[in-house]
Amino acid sequence: MQTINCKGTLIDLAEPRVMGIINITPDSFYDGGATTTETQIIKQASKMIEQGATFLDVGGYSSRPGATDISQQQEINRVVPAIEAIIKQFPEALISIDTFRSEVAKQAVKAGACMVNDISAGKLDSRMLETIGALQIPYIMMHMRGTAQTMKSLTEYQNITKEVLFYFSERIAAARALNINDIIVDPGFGFAKNTDQNFELLNHLELFETLYLPVLAGVSRKSMVYKTLDISAKQALNGTTALHMVALQKGARILRVHDVKPAKECITLFKQLNTSMSN
C-alpha cells in the first residue's frame, strides 16, 4: 500500500517524498541548537515547505548515541509550542512528531501534528500502539535496540537484514491488532548498528518491499556517511545525496533529511532515470 491518510488528505507515496527534520533540541548531532526560538522554527519550516518538503518532522528529544535523557514534560514543552507556531503560520503543513512517548504523541497531535515517528516502534512505551490506534493517524516505526543511551553497545547480529525484517513482521502484527492502518517502516540507520551493518542494510533495502509497506530512509548526514569519508557531519551533504540515490533505487518512498532542496533534486533525477528506462 503506497498511500497514507494525513488529515483526510491521501498522500500518494508512489512518488518519493521528502521529510524535513526540525530538531527543537540543543544537542542533536548535526543541527542542535539551530531551531530553538519560534522565529528560527518558523524560518526553517518556511524554507523546507518552499523547497518542496511534503512532511516536517518535529522532534524535542535527541536520539543521537549517548544523548542526554530528558523528562516527558520537557519534551512536551519543546515540541507543542513549535507545532502550534508552524500550524498557525502554515495551516496545511503535514507535521510528524518524532517521539517514542505516547503522551507526547497525544499532545502533539492535539497541537496539529498528523503523524507519529517512533524510533522504538512502540517498545519504549507500552501505550504507544494503542494511542496511535485510537488517534487513527499514520505511524512510522523504526528498528532499534535499547535506548539512545545504550544502543551503541547492542550491535551483535547473525544476519542483520533478516533480523530487522523479523522485528518488523512482529511489530506490524502488533500494530495491526490495535487498528493502526497506515504504517511506514524505517530500518533505523545508525541505531544499534555499526557502519558496516548500515551499509549492509542499505544494500539489501529492496528486501523490505516484502513487508508491502512504504520504507523511509534516514541517512542524512549520519556517521555512516561522515565516518566512511573521514569528514564531519557538516561536510556530509554530498555523501548523503549519493546514498539517497541508492535508497531510492532500492525502493525508499520517503527521504528524511536535513537538506530538502538537494533531496528533491535527487528525486527529480531518479524519476527522470526511471522514465528513460521505461521508454
For residue 275, the model assigns a pLDDT of: 86
d(CA 115, CA 7): 9
For residue 30, the model assigns a pLDDT of: 46
Give the residue-averaged pLDDT of 269-278: 87
Which parts of 63-206 fold into alpha helices (H)? Answer: 72-89, 102-111, 128-135, 160-177, 195-203
pLDDT score of 67 more than 80: no
CATH (residue range 3-278): 3.20.20.20
Q: pLDDT tens digit string along 33-47?
A: 556 788 999 999 999
Q: pLDDT tens digit string along 211-229?
A: 999 999 999 999 999 999 9
- Where are the domains positioned within the chain? 3-278
Question: CB of 175 within 8 A of CB of 122?
Answer: yes
pTM assigned to the model: 0.94
Q: Which of 78, 222, 253, 264 is catalytic?
A: 222
d(CA 14, CA 198): 25
Residue with cell 502554515: 90
Q: pLDDT tens digit string along 8-32?
A: 889 999 999 999 999 998 755 445 5
Side chain identity at residue 63, one-letter code = S
d(CA 4, CA 223): 30
d(CA 263, CA 241): 7
User: Which residue, 99, 94, 56, is CA-closest to 75?
Assistant: 99
The number of helix segments (H) and strand segments (E) in the chain equals 9, 10
> Is 222 marked active-site?
yes
Q: Which of 17, 64, 145, 256 is catalytic?
A: 256
187: left (phi over 0), alpha (psi -120 to 50) or beta: alpha
Give the residue-averaged pLDDT of 115-137: 97
d(CA 98, CA 104): 9
The set of cell numbers assigned to 211 is 513487508
